[in-house]
Amino acid sequence: MKSEFEKYIGRYSADLTRLCVSLCGNFSDAEDLFQDTWLKALRHYKKYDESKPFDKWLYSICVNTYKNSMKSAFVKKRMLFNSDEEERAFFERISQADDNREDYEQLHKAVSSLSKKHRIVIVLYYFKDYSISEIAQIINVPTGTVKSRLSVARAQIKRRLLNEQEDR
């Protein structure tokens, strides 16, 4: 079991890191979520049905862990990044060219401004390439709810991006 699980860690750590950062919006919370997700996956590995994709099972754990952490009474709205250095490092990692950096920043801020339920579906659909039915299974809601949340989230992102362009 140990060597199998280590293979999963090697294969899915990078994708899980990106999902955690997308959900949390900052590195310190993303690191905590990453560790909590792997810890829960290890604890419950015996319950994993190997006939199903491991990544969906892992991302379900991640999303549920994130949702549970957001329910905490002590969680308050945080700054997007803890420092300018952290923000700069984040955008250097995701931007492929310096001329795209501003677009990435605006998109990231728009996605981060969404409510938790809308941000989750956007991240899973656009950044993790899951289908609507797969997202419904991961977050345990009907497909119609996923479609509705995607529609609302897209409209909010579009509105925010258009407002930022008008401000230039």
Number of domains in the chain: 1
**CA nearest 120: which of 65, 166, 49?**
65
pLDDT band at 101 (very low <50, low <70, confident <90, very high): low
**CATH code of residue 41:** 1.10.10.10
Structural domain of residue 113, as residue ranges?
2-167
**What is the DSSP code string of 55-119?**
HHHHHHHHHHHHHHHHHSTT-----S-SSHHHHHHHHHHH-SSGGGHHHHHHHHHHHHTS-HHHH
Q: Tens digits of per-residue pLDDT, 123-146?
A: 888 877 889 998 998 888 999 999
Residue 78: band (very low, low, confident or very high) from pLDDT cuts 50, 70, 90: very low
Say what the pTM is.
Answer: 0.59
pLDDT value, residue 82: 59
| Coil vs helix vs strand at 168 | coil
* 22: three-class secondary structure by DSSP: helix
> Averaged over 22-29, what is the pLDDT?
82
With cut-offs at 50, 70 and 90, classify the pLDDT of residue 79.
Answer: very low
> What span, in angstroms and rounded, lies between the C-alpha atoms of 158 and 70?
25
DSSP letter at 49? -
Residue 94 CA to residue 18 CA, distance in Å, equals 10
Count of positions (residues) in the chain = 168
Read off the pLDDT of each residue in 105-114 and give the average, rounded to a whole number. Answer: 80
**Predicted local confidence at residue 125, as pLDDT:** 87
Contacts of 88 by beta carbon, 8 Å cutoff, 6+ apart: none
